[in-house]
Every structure is written in C-alpha cells, then in structure tokens.
Amino acid sequence: MPSYQPWYHGNITRSKAEDLLSKAARDGSFLIRDSESIQGAYALCVLYQNCVYTYRILPNEDKKLSVQASEGVPIRFFDLLPELVDAYYSPNMGLVTHLQYSVQREEEVDEDPGQNLHSICNNIKQNECLSYKMYCGCFSVLQLVKSQKMHTKLVIVVETEKEKVLRKEFVFDDTKKREGFCQLLQQMKNKHSEKPEPDMITVFVGTWNMGNAGPPHNISSWFQCKGQGKTQDDTTDHIPHDFYVIGTQEDPLGEREWADTVKNYTFPNMQVAMHTLWNIRIVVLAKPEHENRISHIFSDSVKTGIANTLGNKGAVGVSFMFNGTSFGFVNSHLTSGSEKKLRRNQNYTTILRFLNLGDKKLNPFDITHRFTHLFWLGDLNYRVEFPSTQYQELLSKDQLNMERNDGKVFLHFDEEEITFAPTYRFERYTRDKYAYTKAKATGTKYNLPSWCDRVLRKSYPLVHVVCQAYGCTNDIMTSDHSPVFASFEIGVASQFVSKQDPNSAPQGGIQIMNCKATLLTKSKTKFFIEYHSSFLESICILLVFKVELLWRQVIIHSLFCLFFKLTPIISDPEYLLDQHIVICVKSTDCDESYGEGCIALRAAQFCYTEFQVTLTHHGEKTGTLTGGIQLHTSEGKPTEKLYGEFGNQLRTYFTNCFLPQPRPPPQGPPLSPRIHVCNLQTSR
C-alpha cells in the first residue's frame, strides 16, 4: 500500500474511476487504483480522446513494479509507485499518451467516531466436503469428498462393522469417470435408503439489533413468526424449519451462550456455522437429518467502520451447498444516522466487493452472482425522509426503497411487501411509543420511526422460492429494535443420480448463438467472455476480436459470436434443467470484470430461445447480454416437480426476459472465424 498520493485512489471501483476521469475531461488525466483481479497489483487508468485506457502495474518476485498491457509496453522496473508515475510523465514511454493531470481522490465521509466499540471475533473452520451417508453391505459410506484442487481425485470415508472409520483415496482418468462412480454409489444409497431426497425445504431468516442488552426470558414468537405483518398460522408452531439463519447486531452475549439460547427455541438442531465480527453475529442451524446433505461451508467478515478498519459496523456471512443448491447469507450492520444514506450505500458496495464466500472458481463475480439463493439481512439503518406518523406515508419515503428504485443499492434483490410498523426506534420495554430523540456525544439526534431491520433476497432465474412470512414481533422489548422474521419455501436440486449408464449415454451440449454484449464503459480495450457452471469441467473462455465503437454519452462495445458450444459433464435433462450458467465479460488488458449475468438452462427446455440478461458489476448495472440458447440432452424425461406457482413464474420469466417468437438456430460454420475457443482447467 503506497503512502498518501493525490493520484492513488485505493480500492475504488472501475466504474467510479471512469466517472472521475470523465469529469476531468482532459487528455492525459490519470489515476491509480487497486487491481480488482490480482491482489497486490494496481491499475493505471489514463484518459485519451474520451476513452479510458487501463494498464496493469504488476510487482515481480523482487517487489519491483512495471506497467504491462496486451498491446505491449516496454518493460521498465521501479521500486515505488511515485517513481513509476514520475517516469511516465515523460512522452514516448509506450502509453497511449503521457501522464499529465492527476485526478484527485475524493474524501470519504466517516461515521460518528463516538460510537461504542466491542471486540470479539471467532473464525470457524471451513469444510469443503460433499457428504453422503450410504449403506453398502457390511460397511456404510459416510462421505464422498470431491477434491476441488484435483478434479479427478475422490476420497471415500467408510465405517466398518467394527465401527472403525477408514479413508481411501482414488484418482480417476477424468472428471466424468469420477462423476460416474459417485452416481453409482448414490444409486446404491437410494436403493437401500427409505428417505427420498427433498425437492423442497423451508428456511427461517431472522435479524435483531439487540441494543447491547440480553434477551428476555421468552423469545419464541420470533422463531414462530408471530406478531405484525405477514405471519404464520398457529398450526405451524410445531413444524420445524429445515434451516434457521439468525443474524444479530449489538449482541452482548458470547457465542456459546447465544447458540444455546436459540437452540432452545428451534427444536433439536445441529449447528452448521457461526461467525462473529465484534457484536455482529450470524448463526446457521439445520435439522440433524440434513447433516450429510450440507457441504462446502464457508464464512467471512468485512469491516466498514471508521476507515473500513473497525468492526463495529460491517458484515458477517456464511455459505454452503445443500445437495445441488448453493446458499449464501449476509448479516450486516450499516452506518447509522438519518443523514448517512450515502455512507450506507458505500458500506453495501464494500461488502459486495470484499466478502469472500462460495465457490472459489467464481472469484470474478461478486457474491450476488455466486449462489442459487443469496439472503441479505440485518440492521441496514436506512431511515425515512418524511415527518409523518402514518405508516403508509412513511413507507413511501423509505430511504432503502428509494435507493433501490434508483438502482444504487440491492440491484435485482426482492423484498416481501412490508405490512408491519417501523421496527426502530422504540422506547425500551414498550412497543407503544417511539423515542424520537437520542443523546450522543456529538449532540441530540432526531429519529423518525424507520424500517431499519430488513430481509432481502436475490435468486437465480427460474428457481422456486416463496416468502411465507415477513414481519416483526410485538412482545420482545429489551432493545429499541423489534426482531424481524421471514420464512421461505425453496425448491432444491438433489445430488443428481442419472438413470443412464454414464459411460454409454449419448453426449448433449448447450449451444449459445448470436451472443452480443453491450457495455456501459469508456474503457478502450478488447474483451473476452467467461462461462462458469458446476456442470462444466473447466472454465470456458470465448475470445472476441470484433469490437464496435458507437459514440454516444459513453462508448458501447459490442461483442459478437455466431456459434459457441458448451459440453456438460452429464447430459441427462433432469440434471441440466436445474443448472445455471454465470457469465462474465472481462478485459484482456487487466483481466477485470466489466459485467456479470446468469442464464437458466430451464429457459431452453423446449426449443431454441432468445434471451436478454442484465449485466452488473459490484452492484451496478453495466450493460446487457443478448443471444440465443439451445439445450441438447440425452434421451430421458425429467421428473416433474410440483412447486405450486412455479409454472406461473416460468411463464412470467419467459414474458419478461425472452422474445415472443423463437427463431430456428442460424445456419453456418461451427465456429466463427472471428473467435477462438479454449478451455482452462480451474484449480481451487
């Protein structure tokens, strides 16, 4: 990290750097930011003829710095960034133009330094096991552990009749053979097991700012979704959820004490994960019967307190796989204060960029693209901007809804309709009166009743998810916040068992045609597209050499591809229809993402279909991706899953995202001469 320099902007986003350079509007304007793709590297951004050119600044083994680019810049080494910058003020150094005008960094607004600080932080172990329990004659197979670093390696953990646990390692010729062997064991498990794999689960999500006070004697109403808003019927009181995800802020209890407390109210459950950052905590509990369906558990935290170094504000997160469905949960406590709306937006962006959860193969993507379902809960601290006591009038001026409508935060997240009273700021030990003033070291603060405590969700397209409850309790009054609850019914994919012999089944594929990405950027670079999915053995990369420049308010780069084929590990339709492809458009100069999106293979279930996907990066809309998709599978009919309103959701998705009249796939050669296709093996 360099010492303070006016041209060094730290970890600002690429789009923010482009905005600052556009405002400068002079050739030779420049700034340096941290690289988004390589830790310890930098990006030199230079404005020339209304375009932003980005050059990588990479350290070598001796920590000397050099400027590099795909077009080839003469290599010169420097000990420090200021030396490098001074050198490139000289003309003819290989850049599009020499450096002339440094763009000053903007001052960040820090939150109130007078807030109380608390310190406790424990990390949990990361478990990357894909767990099964199968009974095979005289021994039981406890786990199949698929190596993520070596895709052909499998570890089998078995328990013998004498209760002795053994581990055996196997290395297969390729990933498909490993997958086929796992399918065989899974079929044996299904044959001898009386418990079918679930197609549907329920998830409780709760958030509560405890106000640095211990809980009352009874908090059962929270976990039973009782109180105000959309609540559950009394008949469900004794029906446990499959998962309980509990987020707290200003939590004064120790981890064990709080875990024991919530377990008393959530039926017999096992602890999947717990993570704490100061007084921000997340706990995930699950039914014991799901133990061998849960794998790839990760947890992480991000500080967003003063100068992003203190953990009194920030986020904790947990992610895991449930059979074939990935889940992410983020509990955040954002900056307080009615006037700190912009700072809260900055907190959100920081958490998106730096919270490290989920599949390591998806590092180019922020967490909103890494999971089948991502739930974001917590004391988000957005207030209302309207002096009224009528809740409907207050809700129309809710800061969070207004910022979401403007596309500034929580882009493409969903929230159930709010039909409950503001959850903050109550006088403690009553829910009949709000406290409008708060004495602080910086003076008296005025607080309108606000919906600070929220639960939002973002899911991949064409998946089944229904909110069954969303509200707050009436009878838990130890804090100035009321606990908020939400309950969801979610369709899940099983650990797939093919009905066919994996060695003899005909191979299918996914064809992507007429692909075009339109990006909102001023960067002058070449691009490539990465396709990621769990059904692919490796990352598939499409290098694109044709670039159109359209002069408007921004330069729009269009990427074309006539025909591109992805080959899945398994071509059974029952498997493929539950899968998704996440797409990333990246720069060849700096390997940084310019936009990410997702396509559901279920959309191409019937025929060739055209799609339009919104591209985003770090929570901002960055463009669109259009094209056509055709799914070719081996013979077989998928098992029908009855999800109630799922058929209506499917029709709505087609109406909103797909063109009304599908056209046949275009005729032409298998690959356009303008593109080059290659596969890169991934490692984790």
State pLDDT tens for residues 31-73.
999 998 888 899 999 999 989 999 999 999 999 999 986 666 6
Predicted local confidence at residue 665, as pLDDT: 39
State pLDDT tens for residues 338-389.
999 999 999 999 999 999 999 888 988 999 999 999 999 999 999 998 665 5
Hey, what are 78's tokens?
A: 């420097």
629: amino acid identity, one letter: I
What are the counts of helices (DSSP H) followed by strands (DSSP E) for the chain?
Answer: 10, 33
Q: Which of 78-87, 507-516, 583-592 has the highest mean pLDDT?
A: 78-87
Sign of CA dihedral 221, 226, 228, 230: positive
The whole-angstrom separation of Cα 464 and Cα 458 is: 12
For the chain, the distance separating the N- and C-terminal CA atoms, rounded to the nearest angstrom, is 27
DSSP 553-571: SSEEEEEEEEEEEE--S--
The pLDDT confidence band at residue 137, using thresholds 50, 70 and 90, is very low
Using the predicted structure, report yes or no on whether residue 113 has a pLDDT greater than 60. Answer: no
Name 520's bridge partners.
556
Task: Find the mean pLDDT for residues 520-549.
Answer: 78
Predicted local confidence at residue 641, as pLDDT: 55
What is the average pLDDT value for the chain, to the nearest integer?
82
Share of the chain above pLDDT 90, in %: 51
Query: Count of CB atoms within 10 A of residue 642's CB?
Result: 10
Contacting residues for 654 by C-beta, under 8 A, at least 6 apart: 603, 609
Predicted local confidence at residue 115, as pLDDT: 37
Predicted local confidence at residue 37, as pLDDT: 85
Predicted local confidence at residue 440, as pLDDT: 77
- Would you say 475 and 199 are in contact if contact means Cβ atoms under 8 Å apart? no
Task: Find the mean pLDDT for residues 545-554.
Answer: 51
- Would you say 658 and 609 are in contact if contact means Cβ atoms under 8 Å apart? yes
The whole-angstrom separation of Cα 561 and Cα 192 is: 48
State pLDDT tens for residues 570-614.
878 888 889 999 999 998 888 899 999 999 999 888 788 999 999
250 against 236, higher pLDDT? 250
Backbone angles phi, psi at 384, to 5 degrees: -110, 155
Return the closest-CA partner of residue 523 out of 587, 578, 476. Answer: 587
Predicted local confidence at residue 355, as pLDDT: 96
Predicted local confidence at residue 437, as pLDDT: 82
Name 204's bridge partners.
244, 487
Hey, what are 31's tokens?
A: 């700034």
State pLDDT tens for residues 149-168.
677 888 887 777 666 778 88
Predicted local confidence at residue 564, as pLDDT: 77
State pLDDT tens for residues 165-186.
788 888 888 776 776 677 666 5
126 against 422, higher pLDDT? 422
- Would you say 620 and 565 are in contact if contact means Cβ atoms under 8 Å apart? no
Angle at 608 between CA 604 and CA 610, to 5 degrees: 85
Task: Find the mean pLDDT for residues 190-208.
Answer: 80
- Would you say 481 and 447 are in contact if contact means Cβ atoms under 8 Å apart? no
The whole-angstrom separation of Cα 93 and Cα 78 is: 14
The pLDDT confidence band at residue 668, using thresholds 50, 70 and 90, is very low
Task: Find the mean pLDDT for residues 26-30.
Answer: 96
The pLDDT confidence band at residue 620, using thresholds 50, 70 and 90, is very high
Q: Which residues of 227-251 are buried (b: 16+ CB within 10 A; e: fewer)?
A: bbbbbbeeebeeebbbbbbbbbbbb
In what side-by-side order are the strands of the sheet with 453-459?
Answer: 294-303, 314-322, 325-333, 373-379, 453-459
Predicted local confidence at residue 278, as pLDDT: 96
The whole-angstrom separation of Cα 441 and Cα 464 is: 49
DSSP 620-640: EEEEEEEEEEEEE--S--PPP
Using the predicted structure, report yes or no on whether residue 249 has a pLDDT greater than 80. Answer: yes
Hey, what are 647's tokens?
A: 């058929």
617 against 121, higher pLDDT? 617
What string of H, E and C letters represents the secondary structure of 322-345? ECCEEEEEEEEECCCCCCCHHHHH
Lowest mean pLDDT among 281-295, 560-574, 613-627: 560-574
Predicted local confidence at residue 156, as pLDDT: 82
Q: What is the pTM of this model?
A: 0.80
Using the predicted structure, report yes or no on whether residue 407 has a pLDDT greater than 80. Answer: yes
Predicted local confidence at residue 282, as pLDDT: 98
